[in-house]
């Protein structure tokens, strides 16, 4: 089934992103994960989401990451797992983090268990959500203010990024 193929691509690529030590491979694998997610958006009858996923995420944001990785000539990470696990036995904040991780894991397993027995059908919704025209109308009428604020946010981010990268901290 297509859902499992695309979901598997996304999950495996994300796992490899986290497990990978070379930053360049991490970035490229994340693009694979995003492509899997874009396929899932197509399955969800949301082509607008899929296209923006590819163009904005895989196209723009990941290029930004690639530029920085190449600019900094980032080295391989040194001794990732061993040092982390070695410290986690000692440090108090890390111990709290480990307990938190176990709680989240239990919650996730509980969610799996529940998902196995409750069936909510995603396909039964009747109204079409695939219309890009409908999204545009909603975006520029109901959410017009939020949309304009977003442009201010982007402007602030742009000015901030230039200021931060220029000056020596």
Partner 1 sequence: MPTLSHYLVLSAVLFSIGTAGVFLRRNLIAILLSVEIMLNAVNLTFVAVGRYIGSVEGQIIMFFVMTVAAAEAAIGLAIVIALFRQRETLNPDAFTALKW
* Binding to partner 1 in span 12-41, by CB under 8 A: 14-15, 17-18, 20, 23, 26-27, 30, 33-34, 37, 40-41
To the nearest whole angstrom, how small is the minimum distance from the Cβ of residue 51 to partner 1?
A: 11
Nearer to partner 1, 89 or 169 (CB): 169
To the nearest whole angstrom, how small is the minimum distance from the Cβ of residue 33 to partner 1?
A: 7
Of the candidates 89, 141, 145, 165, which one interacts with partner 1 according to CB under 8 A?
165
Nearer to partner 1, 90 or 119 (CB): 119
Q: Residue 144 interacts with partner 1 (CB under 8 A)?
A: no
Cα 61 to Cα 34: distance, rounded to the nearest angstrom: 11
User: Which residue, among 37, 46, 40, has the nearest Cα to 130 in the 3D structure?
Assistant: 46
**H-type helices in the chain, by residue range?**
2-19, 23-43, 47-52, 62-72, 80-88, 92-117, 132-141, 144-166
CB 4 within 8 A of CB 35: no
CB 51 within 8 A of CB 19: no
Q: Residue 89 interacts with partner 1 (CB under 8 A)?
A: no
Return the residues of window 60-79 that contact partner 1 according to CB under 8 A. Answer: 60-61, 64-65, 68-69, 71-72, 74-75, 77-78
Of the candidates 32, 96, 129, 141, which one interacts with partner 1 according to CB under 8 A?
129
User: Which residue, among 71, 46, 141, 115, has the nearest Cα to 54 in the 3D structure?
Assistant: 46
């Amino acid at each position: 089934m297509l859902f499992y193929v695309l979901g598997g691509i996304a999950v495996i690529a994300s796992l490899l992103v986290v497990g990978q030590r070379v930053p360049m491979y991490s970035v490229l694998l994340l693009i694979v994960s995003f492509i899997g997610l874009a396929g899932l958006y197509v399955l969800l009858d949301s082509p607008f989401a899929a296209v923006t996923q590819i163009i904005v995420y895989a196209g723009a944001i990941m290029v930004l990451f690639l530029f920085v990785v190449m600019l900094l000539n980032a080295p391989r990470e040194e001794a990732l797992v061993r040092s982390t696990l070695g410290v986690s036995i000692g440090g108090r904040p890390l111990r709290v983090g480990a307990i938190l991780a176990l709680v989240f894991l239990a919650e996730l397993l509980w969610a799996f268990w529940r998902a196995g027995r409750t069936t909510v059908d995603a396909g039964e919704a009747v109204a079409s959500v695939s219309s890009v025209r409908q999204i545009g109308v909603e975006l520029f009428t109901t959410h017009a203010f939020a949309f304009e604020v977003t442009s201010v946010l982007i402007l602030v981010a742009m000015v901030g990024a230039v200021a931060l990268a220029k000056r020596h901290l």
